[in-house]
Amino acid sequence: MLAKIFTLDLNFQGIPQTIASYAIPFDQGLILVESGPGSTLPELERGLVKLGFSLADVKHVLLTHIHLDHAGAAGWLAQQGAQIYVHEVGAPHLRDPKRLIESATRIYGDRMGSLWGEFLPVPFKNLHVLKGDGEFSIDGLVFRHLDTPGHAYHHMVYIFEDVCFSGDVGGVRLPGPPFLRLPTPPPEFDIESWRSSIAKMKTADFKHIAPTHFGIFEDAQQHLSLLEDTLNAVEQWMEATLPQVPEREALRESFAEWEYARCAVAGLDEANVHAYSLAMPLGMGADGILRYWNKFRAA
Ligand SMILES: [Zn+2]
């Protein structure tokens, strides 16, 4: 790594190392990859102050996608003047987050505020809309972006020097014993496009991989192999299980059992398992797999 990249721990729900924001200093302040949720803005500020910066130094925010744990605070930062980079399909929802908030409220109910905080709109003039694969530069620093669906249709990964910021399409991999969880939420989890995205990442040249959940890992190619194996394992589990278990609650239980067994084999302790469930809840994972099955495979 040539440039300095800082990993900010947003201490989501008081649990360390589950949601990261990455900060890259440049001449005029800071570039962030992911804003984190609105609820962790105070934690983001604390992290920046420790590094000798403040929220006012945040000039650019690169979002991998617009889910609340990645993009919730983007509107607030934009209203302080930051430029927000996002996939073209996600952009309209940042300008007007009404539908995004409504669908999240259907899932989280009255826990919405305490979990995620406020999701403010991003003003049009602060939006930097990205299409397909390409690159852009900020004050001479070059960022490549790859259109990488699978977790969500509107997902970008960013490559800066030899680091890939992989959002959620790179999987959830937390500090601790080697393990990777595939984040498969509804409504856009899609096995085929995820597989193509992994292939695309494998041919892009980088050494380090930094999933938002959590940290910069040095073994990018091994990580991508583990990701591919995990995607295959989820697909096999789905093909073996779904034809017999069409009922949602039973499927959720069965999926959790399967995933806990994988955690045990990997040697995760209770705290590790809890952190993984905070970064990617298993019930939601099962719902996404069921939705994919019904949409593409059931017939
Ligand atoms: Zn996420």
E strand segments, 171-272: 208-211
pLDDT value at residue 246: 75
User: 3-50 pLDDT, tens per residue?
Assistant: 799 999 999 999 999 999 999 999 999 999 999 999 999 999 999 999
Arithmetic mean of pLDDT, 185-202: 97
**Would you say 148 and 203 are in contact if contact means Cβ atoms under 8 Å apart?**
no
Ligand 1 centroid–CA 151 distance in Å is: 9
Q: How many CA atoms lie within 13 A of 246 on its CB side?
A: 4
pLDDT value at residue 106: 86
Ligand 1 centroid–CA 70 distance in Å is: 6
- The fold adopted by the segment(s) 6-232 is Metallo-beta-lactamase; Chain A (3.60.15)
Ligand 1 centroid–CA 62 distance in Å is: 14
- Residues 65 and 181: their CA atoms lie apart, in Å, by 18
- Residues 114 and 108: their CA atoms lie apart, in Å, by 10
Ligand 1 centroid–CA 280 distance in Å is: 7
Tell me, yes or no, if the pTM score tops 0.95. Answer: yes
Ligand 1 centroid–CA 162 distance in Å is: 22
- Residue 77 CB contacts under 8 Å (≥ 6 apart), including other chains: 32, 35, 55, 58, 61, 84
Ligand 1 centroid–CA 56 distance in Å is: 25
pLDDT beyond 80 at 299: no
Ligand 1 centroid–CA 219 distance in Å is: 21
Arithmetic mean of pLDDT, 174-178: 95
Which residues fall inside 5 Å of ion ligand 1, going by CB? 69, 168
Ligand 1 centroid–CA 266 distance in Å is: 21
pLDDT value at residue 1: 58
Q: Strand 208-211's sheet: what is its strand order?
A: 134-138, 141-147, 156-160, 163-167, 208-211
Ligand 1 centroid–CA 271 distance in Å is: 19
- Residues 5 and 269: their CA atoms lie apart, in Å, by 29
165 - beta bridge partners?
158, 210
Ligand 1 centroid–CA 214 distance in Å is: 10
Query: pLDDT averaged over the chain?
Result: 96
187 upstream amide cis, omega within 30 of 0: yes
- Residues 84 and 63: their CA atoms lie apart, in Å, by 7
pLDDT value at residue 2: 58
Please classify residue 141 by burial: count the beta carbons closer than 10 Å to its beta carbon, then call 0-12 exposed, 13-18 middle and 19+ buried.
Answer: middle
pLDDT value at residue 283: 96
Ligand 1 centroid–CA 299 distance in Å is: 30
User: 220-259 pLDDT, tens per residue?
Assistant: 999 999 999 999 999 999 999 999 877 999 999 999 999 9
Ligand 1 centroid–CA 164 distance in Å is: 16
